[in-house]
Amino acid sequence: MGIIIRQSVRQSIVQYIGISIGLLSTLFIYPLALSELGLLRFIINTAQLVTPFCLLGTPVLAVRFFPIFRDEATRHHGFLSLLQLIALAGVLVFALLYFAFSRQFAALFADQPAEYLPFLPYAVPLVFFMVFGFLYTSFASNFHKVLYPAIFNELLVKIGVPVLVLFFFLKWIDLGAMMNGMLLVFLAVMLAQAFYLVSLGQFSFRLPDPGFITRPLQKELFQFGSVNILSNWAYMLSNRIDIFMLGLLLGPGAFKGVGIYSILYIISEVIDTPRKAVMNISSPIIAEAWKKNDLAHLNELYEKSTLNQFLAGLFLFIGIWAGLDGLFVLMPNGAEIAGFRWVVFFLGLSKVSEMLTGVNSLIIQHSRYFRFNFYSVLLLAVINILNNLWLIPKYGMLGAAIATFISVVLFNLAKFLFLRIKLGMNPFTLGTLAILLTGLLAIGLGYLVPIPATNPWLALVGLIVRSAVITGVYLGIILYFRISPDLNGLVNRFIKRILKK
């Protein structure tokens, strides 16, 4: 678990720098242009929904089969080129389908401002940039290199997009320039990922070695990849279809609603950062453990990832929820956005529930039971879509958040039960309960500190004091009782380095 902790901490630091930038943008920039932000986020989200299908399972193949292809002398038998060709085929299929049905797609938004409609096709080039950027990130993880890809993914987007929105608000650029700038930001991310692989000496256009890719290996690649195509796509449908469906179902002014929902989503997304860091670095390690059939190591990773992710996720959730009163006072149009605060609650709880079950998806994904991920997530994607169709017309944005919460909880419950029954794995310990009780105590004491809504400066002071109380109580108890040995080890190493300096 040591390398996972070190690498995930480094990646988390980068991500939290990005989050800090993102929060400043969310508080002070994004509320300035809610409708235009909604259009921009809708197109980005649409591209994110399509990207897993266009990838055709290549990110999973890049990690799962790399130990088999690994050979520096032959450039890994042209493995990266094989993955790029597969991904390119996926993008081309999407592009053909989009332009064949572009009129029908545009007709779904006939009640939206006419000046927004010409930008809907921007999803096509955006999918291309996302597909290859994601593929290069996954391939780099095979060499335990996640820091710089995280910098590219986090900082370029987190800086570029709010700058474009701010320039639009100041009337320095028009809507077209803002949308074109968004494409350039994601193009820069893709190119940065590619050049990083070049710097590692791992980027290659060497054609796949047909002599190495035997018929049994082709069959295994196809079976594993095809299942993960739909599995990953269904996962996105069960987690990220909310913004897309809000754009379809909210009616006139939908993009403004999407803009408000996006701001609340970004706030809740802070909770998910530690999980992303752990997942990125854990994937190749779990793949290697399955190759050796090291079930003891897998169970250890499962238990420790659950404890540490839940520790981080619950801390962030209670901190964000307790601080919302102050945040809404500080942000422009905060009073309008504050009416939808419960969106953050349900989206945040969905993140915590996912972190509570650790690396269960990766353990199943890299095992011979990988088809289970597909069947379960496909069922839950259907449930999520149906819930969105039912709840959004009744409750608007809150309905979308509740639908996401239900699907995520059911999905993770299914994975937990599967691993418990099939492999006898149980990640929960008394430490899990201790973290929950500590979190409840911390937020209860935090709410004793008032946050005045009458003055921004008083609200800021109240926010800082309440956050300090929650942090002190939560981390103080966790560290004192050594509930997470990994966290205590990190703190001790940090103190030793400071003392040496």
Residue 10 falls inside a structural domain: yes
Q: What average pLDDT is seen over the chain?
A: 85
Choose between 150 and 384: higher pLDDT.
384
Number of structural domains (the chain) is 1
* 315 in any annotated domain: yes
399 vs 252, more confident = 399
203 in Cβ contact with 84 (< 8 Å): no
Residue 477 predicted with pLDDT over 70: yes
Range ranked top by mean pLDDT from 18-27, 106-115, 138-147, 176-185: 176-185
Kindly indicate the confidence band of residue 15, based on its pLDDT and cuts at 50, 70 and 90: low
- Alpha carbon distance 155, 152 (integer Å): 6
* pLDDT number for residue 176: 93
| SS3 (DSSP) at 295 | helix
| Distance between CA atoms of residues 161 and 385, nearest Å | 28
Minimum mean pLDDT range among 53-57, 163-167, 415-419 = 53-57
- Between 225 and 384, the more confident residue is 384
- Type of residue found at 263: I
Tokens in use for 464? 């800082």
CB 43 within 8 Å of CB 106? no
317 occurs within a structural domain: yes
- Of the listed ranges 73-82, 96-105, 429-438, the least confidently predicted one is 73-82
387 or 202, which is more confident: 387
Q: Is residue 222 part of a domain?
A: yes
Q: What is the pLDDT of residue 351?
A: 92
How do residues 230-289 score in pLDDT, each as one tens digit?
666 666 766 678 888 888 888 777 888 989 998 998 888 888 877 776 776 677 788 778
Contact 310, 432 (CB under 8 A): yes
How many angstroms separate the first and last alpha carbons of the chain? Answer: 27
Q: Does any domain span residue 472? A: no
pLDDT of residue 321: 96
Q: Which pLDDT score, from 0 to 100, does residue 14 have? A: 67
Q: According to the model, what pLDDT value does residue 104 have? A: 87
Residue 311 has pLDDT above 90, yes or no: yes
pTM: 0.79
C-alpha 38, offset from chain centre: 19
Between residues 278 and 144, which one has the greater pLDDT? 278
Question: Tell me, what's the pLDDT at 277?
Answer: 67
Whether residue 152 is contained in a domain is answered as yes
Q: Taking residues 203-220, what's their average pLDDT?
A: 73
- Give residue 138's pLDDT: 82
Is the pLDDT reported for residue 5 higher than 70? Answer: no
Sequence-separated contacts (24+) of 47-51 with Cβ below 8 Å: 47/123, 47/126, 47/127, 47/130, 48/130, 48/236, 48/240, 49/233, 49/236, 49/237, 49/240, 49/241, 49/244, 50/94, 50/123, 50/127, 51/127, 51/130, 51/131, 51/134, 51/236
Give me the mean pLDDT over the 32-38 stretch: 89
Greater pLDDT, 9 or 89: 89
pLDDT at res. 238: 66
DSSP 3-state of 214: coil
Domain for residue 147, yes or no?
A: yes
**Residue (of 189, 163, 187) closest to 177 by Cα position:** 163
Would the pLDDT of 443 be above 90? Answer: yes
Q: How many CB atoms lie within 10 A of CB 456?
A: 14
* pLDDT for 22: 76
Q: What is the mean pLDDT of residues 427-442?
A: 94
Domain range for 165: 2-428
Other residues' Cβ atoms within 10 Å of the Cβ of residue 454: 7
Q: What pLDDT sits at residue 436?
A: 96
Closest CA to 221 of 50, 93, 86: 86
Mean pLDDT of 292-296: 85
235/325 Cα distance (integer angstroms): 32
Q: pLDDT class for 116, splitting at 50, 70, 90?
A: confident
Supply the pLDDT for residue 252: 74
Averaged pLDDT, 364-383: 80
Q: What is the pLDDT of residue 146?
A: 61
